[in-house]
Each structure stands twice: as structure tokens, then as C-alpha cells.
Amino acid sequence: MTPSPTSRLGGFAAGHFVITALCAPLLFLGPQLFASVSSPLQALWMMVLYLPAGWIMAAVRRWNRPTPKEGVKAVLWPALLAWGWAFGGWLLLICPSLLSGIGFWMLTSTYFLACPSFVFMLAALGQNADLTAWSTFGFTWYLSIFLAGLLPPLLFFLGSLLPKKRLTTAKNVIE
């Protein structure tokens, strides 16, 4: 079946929320254990979960291999949504008005909406020496936002391209 871009976006969202549901309980493990979970290696392990999720979703929904244009849409739509959420929350957070509270809650809710990306961002912040200075949020911060939004749909898409076992039926068996 050739899926529509909306079907691929829905498939990504379903896989994405399953991965988040698997990773989100890490928040409740305790401060010491959670601090060790937010290392770059664990963040990458969480991101790698998108490969089998894409493979499973493509097998369950019987997706065909997409054209390059469909592939770009399958990666770009979820990434644009994530970047809009992250940069929108960030801009509201640094806004010196009552909107900063909304921005804070937007960014904090990312843990429950996109746990692997949130842990990836924590790992990126952990690599910076001084978390209190506004200058800390420089190139590394924005590169991390870019990668946290791009890696999940990209890895999910690459997982959906993995070969699937085809079942033979009596109709397609050559005797």
C-alpha cells in the first residue's frame, strides 16, 4: 500500500508516543539514577529505538517504499512540528512577560510528549560548563534543538525502509 503523507505522519506519531511511553517512566526513578540516564549515550540509545519502531509500523501498515519526495515529507513534517514547538517554547520562555511561564511549561511538557528528544537536550545541556549564563545557549543549544527535532523522524523513516519478510501465498508460488 502506498501511504499518504498524513498516514506516514500518523504512523510516526503512534510509534513516537509508544517510545515516549517506554522512556518517560525514567523521570520517576530518582534523582541519582535520572542524572545518569541523561548522559549522551543513553540519549542516543533512546533515539535508536526509532529504527525498530519505523520497521514495525511499516510492516504492520504494509507501507511500500516511498518516492524521494514522499520520504522528504515523511521526515520534514514531524521535524517542523518539533522545531516549531521547541523554538516557540524557547521564544516564549525568554520573553520578559507573562508568556515566559507558558514557554516554560511548553518546554517542560516535552518530557511527556517526546522523552528521547528531551533527554537528548538534557545531555546537550550537561555538556556545557555553566548552565546559569544566557551565553551558554549558543551554537550547541541550537544545534541540539535541530538534531532533537530531526533525528526521531529520520531514524523512524530509515527504520521503515528496512526489509520486511514477505509471506508467500498460494497465488504467488511458482510451481
User: Could you read off the pLDDT of 1-54 as tens digits, one per residue?
Assistant: 667 878 888 888 888 888 888 887 776 665 555 566 566 777 888 889 999 999
- Which residue matches cell numbers 515566559? 100
What's the confidence (pLDDT) of residue 91? 77
62 to each of 93, 158, 160, 173, how far by Cα in Å? 42, 15, 10, 20
The residue among 21 and 170 whose pLDDT is bigger is 21
In the DSSP assignment, the letter for residue 129 is S
The residue among 50 and 169 whose pLDDT is bigger is 50
What is the mean predicted confidence (pLDDT) over 85-91?
80
Q: Where are the alpha helices (DSSP H) in the chain?
A: 5-23, 31-37, 40-48, 50-61, 68-94, 99-113, 115-126, 139-160
* CB neighbour burial string for 149-159, b if at least 16 within 10 angstroms, e if fewer: bbbbbbbbbeb
Q: Please state the φ and ψ torsions of residue 12, each to the nearest 5 degrees.
A: -65, -45
What is the mean predicted confidence (pLDDT) over 88-101?
75
pLDDT at residue 87 greater than cutoff 70? yes
Mean pLDDT, the chain, rounded, equals 78
d(CA 51, CA 167): 22
What's the confidence (pLDDT) of residue 133? 46
Q: Looking at the whole model, is its pTM more than 0.95?
A: no
Map residue 97 onto helix, strand or coil. Answer: coil
d(CA 49, CA 45): 7
Residues 152/121, Cβ–Cβ less than 8 Å:
no
